[in-house]
Structure 1
Amino acid sequence: MIKWFSVGFWELIARIVLRNRILMLSIIAVITVLLALQWKNIQFSFTEANLLPDDNVVNSDYKTFLEKFGEEGNLIVVGVKDDAFFTPKAFAAWNKLMTDIKAQQEVDLVVSINDLKQLQKNDSLERFELVPFVNSNKTSSKQYLNSIKKDLFENMPFYEGLLFNKKSGSIRSAIYLDKKIVNTARRKDYIVNDFIPKINTFEQETGIDLRVSGMPYIRTLNAMSILSEISLFIGASLLLTSLIFFFFFRSFRATLIAILIVIIGVMWTFGLLGLFNYHITVLTALVPTLVIVIGIPNCIFLTNKYQQEYSAHGNKAKALQRVITKVGTATLMTNLTTAAGFATFIITSSQLLKEFGIISSLSIVSLFFLCLIVIPIYYSFQPVPKQKHLEHLNRNYTRVFIKWIEKTVKHNRRYVYIVTLILFLVSIMGALKIKTSGSLIEDMPKNTSFYKDILFFEKEFEGIMPLEITVDTKRKKGVMKLSTLSNMDELQQTIEDIPELSKPISILNLVKYSKQAYYNGNPAYYDLPTSQEQSFILGYAKNVAAKNNENLMKSYVDSTGQVARITTFMRDIGTGNMAKIEDKLWAKANEVFPKDRYTVIMTGKALVFEKGTQYLLDNLVSSLLFAVLLISLLMVFMFRSFKMVVVSLIPNLLPLVITAGLMGYFGIPLKPSTILVFSIAFGLSVDDTIHFLAQYRQELKHNNWKIKKSVFATIRESGISMFYTSVVLFVGFSVFMLSDFGGTIALGGLIAITLAFGMLSNLMLLPSLVLTLNKKLANKQDFIEPIIDIIEPSDEEIDDLEKNK
């Protein structure tokens, strides 16, 4: 049988690469330039991360809502809680601020106290009139402003929860952006270059601290934080991994070429993003750093092999060729298993995860070929390694570490199993404590002013994340039927009774306000009209709408009068709490709106994100099982031994269980960021297993199939490389802990911890299992010739191949 990626294949590749060095480098340069030209297509995502498949019913409902009512995440709120607000100077500055904001073409509507309108009954014309709530000629009087404050809080229940908090005295304005710009770059330009400077000017002039929030504002500043962290991660990971590389090899030349390779890899990653027209999201923003973290271990492995070969026979040309010939397949397989860990996200129906999986897996595979080609070519132009560059092969601290591992496996194998069992059981108990979280703002930077403002609005106005409910009456003008309004009133009362939700806004609020206005503004009459009152009160309301050529609540009823919209805002709550709130709302909605007469839909950004998180959780097990299956198939191809597949999986699944246990004990919830940990870490951890088992098979041949001798020879031979690469990966992923985003911190820390346990598991548990499961002398029948031969060929085998040509 002809093997895939045999010695002859890699010997051919080595000859092609080393005999056509200038051509190879030119091809890489051309690819780099072509991909760099694609950078112009790179854009940052101006929408929230949608984790659901496009055809999911939740997404379909949300799209239907947007088609009927337009973008719902266009509200910015500016709040203040300061007794100095109702003073002439501050109120004048506020009036100027709101007037300036209203004048901008990016702003659709501003609802603020300074230009508030109130309904007033005109009996002679039988209609309501909109009259100014504030007399601008009197705002220079502090006494007048105090009376306005009192009148607002006591007599304007229509605006309670929207513009003021009666209990605390906080005030806010509602600024509705043009819905057409909310998901475009114009939103960022307006908020950064126009809106924020105006806010800062007000604060400087008055000394009053303004609070600003709302989804457009939060998304803009959050996106800017993500972009700023891309350069931080790239710089920090490049610096730290390069320092570790230099510490290992003590060679500026080796370090510089490793840096150059990963920089080119990062350039290719950005080029792939542009080529596929993928946006930079919270996930794809991590890929350039992943390229550095994964690329440096590749450079370590290949550089280490080159120096080992040169140290063995002193022939530079032979050493360069055998770097490719000896470790080509093994390095390819380890990179493929790493890429497989990321590629598992491609099978999900979430576009966000698909893009992350495609870009990361392609970047990793392309990085492998980049390392395999550039490193041998680079060293072919360089002088031979000096003795000081080879000293790391026999450093004392690495020898001490490897001897300790060897001693433990040889004499204390039962303790390895006991510790493993204890860790497993304790971790399972911890894993059962894991909770889930599906919040839009939980992972946002906690030390930023905009996050603190979110907490302010949660406390004062019950949150800023919109939750939308639409009621389709299935007939034109059905919304204004008293029965429909009465049912909406019951549902809104349920909403008000839920502490995590804000006071709802709908056409019902205007109807109640109309009754209050009809009874000369008496707040005691802010209620739903009776059947006797309905006809003439709504008649007054229609007349005022016609006179002013506008509908005060046009965004809350569709053009046919058939569909009503109820908007509420929610606090930052987890997935479990959201489900409970949903159950309460659906129970009341199904009770008051029979399905044969009404169609009720619950949607909004908060709900879409929560359902997306739940979708990821539901697919966590399947995606992890797919990763295990995919990597197991690769192991079958490589070893063609069921025993080897079992031996390889156990040491790599244990670190995942330990990580899950730590998440449970330390209260780290399952959420979109931490869900990624398991597949990624598994794909990376398996690399050490492949290196170990490949070397083990080679040692078996050299030692007449004697297991003990082969196992300990493998530990001595592969242990150092496994230690080096694991340290780089640990430090590299730890860079993500510099982030201000909780999810990124958790992702980096958990993967780093998992890989640390993975290294120890592969160095101690793996050889222990090999020794236990093979108590007798091994024979060739236990090791069928694999389809993919990842065993490093011996010098004699390569010499025989070259002689036969």
Structure 2
Amino acid sequence: MSSSSSWFKRFIARLTQDRSIGFGFEYLGLSTVRYPRLMALAVIAFSILCFAQIPRANVDGDLLRVYAHSGHYYDAYERLSDTFGTFENDIYVMVNAPNLVDPEVIETARSLAFDLELNDYAVGTMSPFTLRKPDGAGGSAPAVPEGMLTPDEVAFALTDLQQHDPMMRNLITPDLEGVVIIVFPNQEMVSQNGSKAMIDSLRETLAFYEDSALSIELTGPPVWTSEMLNAAVDDQIKFTVYGFGLGAFIALFALRSFWGAILVAATPFVAVAWSIGTVLLLFGSFSFLTIIVTTLVLVMAFAESMFFVFNWLAYWRDGMEPNKAVDTTLKLVGPATALTTLTTLVAFASLYVSPGQGVQEFALAGAVGCVIMFVCLMTVMPLLLKLAVRLGFKAPKAPNFALSAPVPLALGLAMRYGRPFSALALVVTILLVIPFFLIQPRFSFEDFMTEGSTALSAAESIDQGVGGVAPFYVRVPLQERDPNVGPQDFETIRTVHEIVEAELGENKVISAASLTNYTDSGFSRQEVFDAVGPFMRKRFVTDDGSQALVTGFMPTIIESQALKDIVARIETEIAQAGISGAEVGGFRVLTTFATDDIVRSLQISLAASVFLNLVLIGVAFGSLRIALISAVPNMFPILGTQAYLWASGAGLQLTSVMALTIAFGIAVNDTIHMLSHYMHGRREEQREHLEAVRHTLNRIGGAIIATTVILCAGTIIVAFSELPQVALFGTLFVLSLALALIGDLFMLPSLLVAASRWLQNLTSIRIRTADHVPTPDDPSGDTDTRLKPGE
């Protein structure tokens, strides 16, 4: 019984007090040096599995995936899409010609419209050429008559449609020099072959008309998404290649050794391959958000790899046998790396509680990437270093002086002005809290589009000429359940139609109430519905007559607050009109409101991440004082970056809050490595407080600068993305890391010096900073010289 009790006490002590700051996860690295052949086989097997996935790497271009399951407006959009379908997947073809009224030119445009309708990817089109009008004899006739002989005839026909037909008002330009053809895609074929195949097929159809008098442009959500997808794939290739090249170059500059740089770069290379393979195994494809994870894994792996190699070479230059130096580095750096992985993992995990499938996938992919990066560092890195020693690798000279140049300044500032500088840092950090409460969420659709998008330009020209490409829907419940719309339901639809039109502008709304020009001429609604065809009929009223759809067309570019105000006014007007159950929807409505909800949730996630990571640091080091001291240098970069967003007017966007959260998780890493070395100096090396601060800065100051430079250089490439949202992510990430370097290199040492009396008794804490256990090169395992309580 006493034996069991003793074992249980040792187990509890191992979990709580008598453990490393890495909570024992560094044992993976120690197991690698103990069983190198077994771990090498495991590394090779997993590498083969991941590399086998890379050829099927792809990016899912469905932007709706980002907002899936994000709340009320997503549910409304889903119900709307299931009931009526939407215009969100339609492709708009803008056809311009200065002499469009020429009979020969108008017939060429008609042929183009019919060829598009016959395309394999089209289930139908809507244009002035496909519209038919009731002929009064129970049949229908083309709205644009065939065989017209003079420009005046053509001009009269187009003007008549443009002025009197509600659907054609948005498809014929007022100057009669352009028409819009809306292509309704075959969603089954698009699902099988992808939007790119559909767009390529349509462009092939349009290529026949390139030498004609017509100027043709494609736009619409599928084209925008295709451009975003192409940009995302190009970005990923650039980010990986440039990020890897820059990281290797900086390692070469820092270490002044080609093979040393190769050793630093090898682990990130493997970590990225493992991350790509794992994401594909989990999700089957990347999204616009998860594609960023590989870049984050790359730069994080480079930073941790640099810390590892820096320490290994430092021990080697101090006279330690190189294989022994690998083991010692694992014992010192391994726990700190485990803790930095946990803090980054917490940052990613905090995002998972936010609504939206895209954010949750990003959180999960990032968390998996953190684990993979740590496993890679604890297995691949020691195996490579020992292999390098066996192959005759020689220790390079001391690191480049340029990396350590700011260290004496930071050290002098801390030793001479520790207290006043600490007070200044504390005041500045507190003041930076103010913008945190002032900044507001913002959504802008053009931020999701590629820079210089021709499809966006075409959409804007449609906005200016004929209406809008961004649909705004109101789903209206009907009482009479008449498929041809009874008089009471017609009045309901007309009321909603007028409410929406009052907000979006005259002639910018279509519904069953739009067809009065034909019904006033003596045609029944059934005749009118039969004339427009079954496909378009379903865009007005359901087959059972239970629901109607009112569709408005907004400008492509509209401020998020303006859209929210429009929605609020329309919902209020509909409620005041006594119409219950009506539901506002649309992709733009969804993205605007969902982004607002997601961003506010992410703000809470960011605050939770900061709090949890500070608690984690306190628990890991067994000291609340250490956690409180680390709060200022870690909160300063996040609050400073958020203040920049507020001052620049950029507001909080989806990727900006994610960037802040992840940047915080990574920025904490340098703080942990510095505190780990400081505590190691105090406890294991029994240094005095100020000497421990000085030794820590001299020992790893250069490594902190080098890792920050690698992180910034590797991520700054993201700031040049053609996708503004991704570019913003990169810009904020780099800014946060740059401010974090100021916090770790200048603020943290000053705070440690200023709190010297507060930190005098840290040596009595039993939590270890390095776990001394037996290894092949350290069989005794009795190198633990820590001070125990009472010693």
Do both share a fold (TM > 0.5)?
A: yes
Q: Deviations over 1:400-429 (max 9, x none)?
A: 311011111122335534653674476456
Out of 173, 198, 204, the position equivalent to 1:197 is 204
Aligned residue identity for 2:781: E
Q: How far apart are 1:609 and its partner, in Å?
A: 1.2
Alignment pair present for 1:649 and 2:631: yes
Partner of 1:70: 85
Which runs of structure 2 are paired with 1:725-736 in the superposition (5 Å)? 725-736=707-718
Alignment pair present for 1:310 and 2:316: yes
Partner of 1:785: 766
Partner of 1:604: 586
Alignment pair present for 1:133 and 2:115: no
Alignment pair present for 1:513 and 2:517: yes
Which runs of structure 2 are paired with 1:187-586 in the superposition (5 Å)? 187-192=195-200, 194-206=201-213, 208-383=214-389, 390-393=396-399, 395-413=400-418, 416-417=421-422, 420=425, 423-424=428-429, 427-428=432-433, 431=436, 434-477=439-482, 480-499=485-504, 503-510=508-515, 512-518=516-522, 537-538=523-524, 541-543=525-527, 550=534, 553-571=537-555, 572-586=557-571
Aligned residue identity for 2:512: I
SS in 2 for 1:85: coil
Aligned residue identity for 1:700: R
Whole-Å separation in 1 of the counterparts to 2:208 and 2:245: 40
Asked if 2 retains the 8 angstrom alpha-carbon contact of 1:69 and 1:555, the reply is yes
Q: Deviations over 1:67-123 (max 9, x none)?
A: 22235423211124442333345334322322211112321211223343223334x
Whole-Å separation in 2 of the counterparts to 1:232 and 1:358: 24
Out of 670, 682, 687, the position equivalent to 1:688 is 670
Whole-Å separation in 2 of the counterparts to 1:214 and 1:616: 25
Whole-Å separation in 1 of the counterparts to 2:576 and 2:50: 58
Asked if 1 retains the 8 angstrom alpha-carbon contact of 2:132 and 2:531, the reply is no
Whole-Å separation in 2 of the counterparts to 1:568 and 1:346: 35
Stretch deviating more after TM superposition (629-638 or 383-392): 383-392
Asked if 2 retains the 8 angstrom alpha-carbon contact of 1:343 and 1:358, the reply is yes
Structure 2: gaps of 5 or more residues? 1-12, 785-791
Q: Give the direction of change, closer, same or farther, for the CA distance of 1:435–1:630 in structure 2 (3 Å limit).
A: closer
Partner of 2:64: 49
Whole-Å separation in 2 of the counterparts to 1:641 and 1:268: 36
Aligned residue identity for 2:203: I
Alignment pair present for 1:150 and 2:159: yes
Q: How far apart are 1:562 and its partner, in Å?
A: 1.6
Asked if 2 retains the 8 angstrom alpha-carbon contact of 1:462 and 1:500, the reply is no
Whole-Å separation in 2 of the counterparts to 1:164 and 1:12: 71
Aligned residue identity for 1:589: I
Aligned residue identity for 1:185: N
Partner of 1:761: 743
Q: Give the direction of change, closer, same or farther, for the CA distance of 1:195–1:415 in structure 2 (3 Å limit).
A: farther
Structure 1: gaps of 5 or more residues? 519-536
Whole-Å separation in 2 of the counterparts to 1:494 and 1:8: 62
Q: Give the direction of change, closer, same or farther, for the CA distance of 1:205–1:325 in structure 2 (3 Å limit).
A: same
SS in 2 for 1:347: coil
SS in 2 for 1:279: coil
Alignment pair present for 1:102 and 2:117: yes
Partner of 1:534: none
Q: How far apart are 1:59 and its partner, in Å?
A: 2.7
SS in 2 for 1:283: coil
SS in 1 for 2:584: strand
Aligned residue identity for 2:198: Y
SS in 2 for 1:276: helix
Whole-Å separation in 2 of the counterparts to 1:89 and 1:263: 61
Which runs of structure 2 are paired with 1:658-673 in the superposition (5 Å)? 658-673=640-655
Partner of 2:5: none
Q: Deviations over 1:618-674 (max 9, x none)?
A: 212320122123312321221221111111112111111111111112222211111
Whole-Å separation in 2 of the counterparts to 1:483 and 1:172: 34
Whole-Å separation in 2 of the counterparts to 1:346 and 1:14: 29
> C-alpha root-mean-square deviation of aligned residues, in Å?
3.2
Q: How far apart are 1:281 and its partner, in Å?
A: 0.9
Q: Give the direction of change, closer, same or farther, for the CA distance of 1:279–1:567 in structure 2 (3 Å limit).
A: farther
Whole-Å separation in 2 of the counterparts to 1:345 and 1:631: 14
Q: How far apart are 1:169 and its partner, in Å?
A: 5.3
Aligned residue identity for 2:72: V
Asked if 2 retains the 8 angstrom alpha-carbon contact of 1:46 and 1:184, the reply is no
- TM-score, length-scaled by structure 2: 0.89
Q: How far apart are 1:176 and its partner, in Å?
A: 1.4
- TM-score, length-scaled by structure 1: 0.88
Whole-Å separation in 2 of the counterparts to 1:576 and 1:547: 40
Asked if 2 retains the 8 angstrom alpha-carbon contact of 1:66 and 1:72, the reply is no
Whole-Å separation in 1 of the counterparts to 2:342 and 2:536: 60
Out of 63, 73, 77, the position equivalent to 1:58 is 73
Asked if 2 retains the 8 angstrom alpha-carbon contact of 1:79 and 1:210, the reply is yes
Whole-Å separation in 2 of the counterparts to 1:8 and 1:274: 30
Partner of 2:3: none
Which runs of structure 2 are paired with 1:154-193 in the superposition (5 Å)? 154=163, 156-166=164-174, 170-181=178-189, 183-192=191-200
Aligned residue identity for 1:277: F
Whole-Å separation in 1 of the counterparts to 2:148 and 2:158: 13
Q: How far apart are 1:313 and its partner, in Å?
A: 1.5
SS in 2 for 1:296: helix
